[in-house]
Homo-oligomer: A and B are copies of this chain.
Amino acid sequence: MRASDKAYAALRDDIIEWRLLPGTVLAEVEQSERLGVSRTPLREALSRLTAEGLTRTAGGRGVVVTDISLEDIDELFELRETLEGKAAALAAERGDAATFEQLRNELLQAPQLISGADPARHDYYGLVGRLDAAIDAAISNSYLVQAMRSLRVHLVRVRRLAADDAERLTSAAAEHAAIAEAIAAGNPRLAEAATTLHLHRSLSHVKATHIPH
């Protein structure tokens, strides 16, 4: 693995997991020493982070970790609703029914995973990730996929602000199952509606259980 990739992954995780809090200045020499790489690959990592919006240049004083305000969360979900709604609709038109039927059945049994301990819960997140991947593959639009991918980074960061209690995860699993079912049924409008519903509930949950940093 390249040193720049290593530095990028390390910094990205530190920011997403809120180990590097908003406002933290990332001086090049300091971070390069901390991560054990030289300044050149570190600069590339910082460029990528800044392009993604996780950091911003602070005019001659290095780059700083960007903040996420309540308005940012609203804007994020507004775009997410647009993109993922369209993605679900396209998947319903173009996707393979059997694939999503299978995912739906697995999602309906997800509560057993959620109620379990941490390793099982990790399996649940993997299942949701497989649904996302299946949708990405079904829509066959690389530009749309890339737009959603760039959003997911921020969304993971926001998710870490909320309390993922078992109750919410159980509801979310049912909502995901509804999306998969609509896609399997080949109903674009229903798939979009199910996605809208899920995202609104997710947003409400995040805003309700918001943990200040």
Contact = CB atoms under 8 A, between A and B. Distances in A.
A24 interface: no
A47 B86 CA distance: 29
A58 to B, nearest CB: 16
Which DSSP category, helix, strand, loop or mixed, fits chain A's interface? Answer: helix
Contacts of A86: 82
Given A47-B44, A83-B82, A75 B143 contact: yes
Contacts of A51: 48, 51
A79 B147 contact: yes
A76 interface: yes
Q: How many interface residues does chain A have, given as a range?
A: 20 to 34
Interface string A38-66: 00100110011001010000000000000
Interface string A80-93: 00110010001000
A146 interface: yes
A143 B86 CA distance: 17
A135 to B, nearest CB: 14
Contact of A146 (B44, B53, B78, B143): B53
A209 interface: no
B48 A144 contact: no
A114 B143 CA distance: 32
A143 B47 contact: no
Given A82-B86, A83-B82, A86-B82, A75 B144 contact: yes
